[in-house]
Amino acid sequence: MKILVCITHVPDTTSKISFTDGNTQFDKTGVQFIIGPYDDYALARAVELKEQSNGTITVLNVGEAETEPTLRKALAIGADDAIRVNANPTDSYFVANQIAAIAKEHQYDLILMGRESIDFNSGAVHGMVGEILGIPSLSPIMTLDIDGTTAKMTREIEGGKETLEAELPLVLGCQEPIAEWKIPNMRGIMTARSKPLNVVEPTDNSVRTQLKEYQMPPAKGAVKMISADNVSELVNLLKNEAKVI
């Protein structure tokens, strides 16, 4: 089974977010970048499936040279090779087009990625790739089992989950508890250095959205502390000040 795992290169969850150049650029100063947490789940499940089926895993990132350490980490976790599409990932449509072009060329049985990236939170790339390729796309996927060419999955729905079945090829946006994150071991880190990381240029440069400006939320007012002996004061404030009950 040939699996493609698409990974995002995103600021660590705990990063403080700020912008420069008149609020048009993300400020990378002091920010640590990681594999997108949802993509990490997708990769972890891919590694398990590869072990069961003798498959191969290619990891793909649309990003500039600075994302290569993130791709190397994915190789250390268990991917066999990596592709970097050398471009700044400007919008979901642009990224989906690059992924679809690579997928058409290499014919994967399964294309996995996270349900959304944690920077733009659009959750759109998997669906766009599925539609461009004319194959089913499903998200958010919580469990995935493959039997021959049939995939059985559970998908989160509001207040519960649904069980689904479909034939490969498929595009899936993943989330927990699909697998436990894998931490690269020493051997993985060593072998990752010599695994192929191919850089290709983007095929289609069209975008459908244009970022005008970033904004920060207004500063949070100070918390109002209420004594544990005076709970009715809290109820009073919720009713008459915050007007939420």
Give the footprint of ligand FAD on residues 11-70 (CB under 6 A): 13, 37
Nearer to another protein, 187 or 220 (CB): 220
SS3 assignment, position 204: coil
Interface with another protein (CB under 8 A), residue from 42, 74, 82, 138? 138
Interacting span for another protein (CB under 8 A) from 42-50, 101-109, 190-198, 235-243: 235-243
| Partner residues linked to 81 by β-bridges | 58
For residues 179 and 81, what is the distance between their CA atoms, to the nearest angstrom? Answer: 21
Residue 190 as a binder of another protein (CB under 8 A): the answer is no
| 27 torsion bin: left (phi>0), alpha (psi -120 to 50), beta (else) | beta
> 103 is written with which tokens?
């997928």
Residue 164 as a binder of another protein (CB under 8 A): the answer is yes
Closest CA to 62 of 9, 120, 106: 9
Nearer to another protein, 15 or 58 (CB): 15
CB of 41 to ligand FAD, least distance (A): 10
For residues 107 and 15, what is the distance between their CA atoms, to the nearest angstrom? Answer: 37
Nearer to ligand FAD, 100 or 113 (CB): 113
Checking 9-16 for CB contacts under 8 A at 24+ apart, the result is 9/33, 9/34, 9/35, 9/36, 9/61, 9/63, 9/66, 9/67, 9/70, 10/34, 10/35, 10/36, 10/117, 10/118, 10/119, 11/118, 11/119, 13/37, 13/118
Interface with another protein (CB under 8 A), residue from 54, 88, 107, 215? 215
9: DSSP letter: E
Which single residue brings its beta carbon nearest to ligand FAD? Answer: 37
Host H or E run for residue 136: none
Give the pairing of strands 19-20 and 81-85.
unpaired
Residue 114 as a binder of ligand FAD (CB under 6 A): the answer is no
CB of 116 to another protein, least distance (A): 8
Residue 52 as a binder of another protein (CB under 8 A): the answer is no
Nearer to another protein, 82 or 170 (CB): 170
Residue 158 as a binder of another protein (CB under 8 A): the answer is yes
Residues 79-108: x where in contact with another protein by CB under 8 A, - otherwise, as a string: -------------xx--x------------
Q: Residues interacting with ligand FAD, by CB under 6 A?
A: 13, 37
